[in-house]
Structure 1
């Protein structure tokens, strides 16, 4: 995926570090998918929230420390 030219340097370094760990992004995607499917059903809704919670905390921390310009959107989500 091409890197947009207007990204801050810290965010580019962070993205490259994430891409060096080949299994990390598929794991995050799998957790989001499983958590979203679990949230669809009332019986497993709490488990789905527990699965998605670490992903959302990671997104929030990344916006706090690396890319604060997107913090408002991350906090709303």
Structure 2
């Protein structure tokens, strides 16, 4: 089980690292989008701050996942990101669903493995 968690953690970390580094260094030309996905992407980039902020969080999370540092915290921080990745692909870009399922399932698997770390959060005082 421990080896499976390490494999999933490192794969997810590498995916986040690649996505953020590719964004910041323009390693991949932007994909031509259309329809609702184009509108969604334009909305995210229109603010001017959201995409750089998101990619910075992904970069930090990717480093932490690959390095094996602060994993329970990182799993919580990236959960809204992985939920959004999954939902965007379900509703707007179904061709990316397999990767989105891996990201969401991987995030849930990592959080489940570290579930004892979250127990103090649910203690009523």
Question: Same fold, TM exceeding 0.5?
Answer: yes
What residue ranges of structure 1 are gaps of 5+ in the alignment?
Answer: none
Task: Show CA shifts across 1:29-72 (max 9, x none).
Answer: 11111212222234x11112122211111111111111122212
Question: Is contact 1:32-1:51 (8 Å) kept?
Answer: no
Q: Which consecutive segments of 4 or more residues in structure 1 shift more than 3 A? A: none
TM-score, scaled relative to structure 2 = 0.51
Q: Select which of 90, 114, 122 maps to 1:64.
A: 90
Structure showing greater relative contact order (alpha-carbon pairs closer than 8 Å, 6 or more residues apart): 2
What residue ranges of structure 2 are gaps of 5+ in the alignment?
Answer: 1-28, 104-125
Return the alpha-carbon distance in structure 2 between the equivalents of residues 69 and 41 of structure 1: 31
Q: 1:1-77 maps to which residues of 2 (within 5 A)?
A: 4=32, 7-39=33-65, 40-42=67-69, 44-77=70-103
**Structure 1 residue 22 displacement after superposition:** 0.9
SS at match of 1:22: coil
Return the alpha-carbon distance in structure 2 between the equivalents of residues 52 and 24 of structure 1: 15
Bigger Rg over Cα: 2
Return the alpha-carbon distance in structure 2 between the equivalents of residues 65 and 48 of structure 1: 26
TM-score, scaled relative to structure 1 = 0.77
RMSD: 1.9
